[in-house]
Amino acid sequence: MSDSEPPTAKAAAAFERTLLVHFHEIDRAGIVYFARIFEYCHRVYEELLAEVVGPLEPFFQQKDWGLPLVHAEADYARPLRLGDRVRVRLEVERLGERSATFAYTLTCAATGEPRARARLVHACVSLGDGFAPRPLHPDYVAGLRRLGLVAAQGP
C-alpha cells in the first residue's frame, strides 16, 4: 500500500516523550522484550495523534478513514533495562499522498546513548469501503504541519 508521491522536505521539529521501562516489559534476560520497542513507538504516536486531532475517543467514533500500519522495522543498538527512562523521538520521514512514514529514535534519557531506531509506515484507507486506499485526511496533514513536523509544501 505504498504510494508514488515524492517525499516531502523534512521538517526540523520532532515530537518527543520520555517513558519508563516497567517490570512487565522485560524478559527473562532482564532486558526489554524486543517487540516492546514497537509498543513504545505506538504510545508516542498515540500521544501525537491526540495533539493532531484532539481527544481520541470522539475522533475514532466519527471518522470514516484509518491509518493502519503497513510496514514496521527496527534496529537495536543497546538493551533497555528495568527502571530505565527512554526518550522516544518521532519524526515524519515521508508524507505521501496516501501514506505517512515515521522514524523513531529511542535513547537513554539520562545519557543520550542510542538504544534503538524504528521506522513505521501508515497507509490511509477508507473504513467504509473495504480498506480502499485514500488520500491522507487534510485535518491530519494540517495537524502535523501545525506541530512543525511537516514542511509547508506537500499534499
- Please, what is the angle between helix 36-53 and helix 138-146, to 10°? 100
Q: Residue 121's closest CA among 45, 65, 63?
A: 45
Distance CA 17, CA 150 (A): 18
Least Cα distance to 144 among 44, 15, 52 occurs for 52
* β-strand partners of 31: 81
Q: Which of 27, 64, 75, 139 is catalytic?
A: 27
State yes or no: is 139 an active-site residue: no
Residue with cell 534519557: 109
The set of catalytic residues is: 27
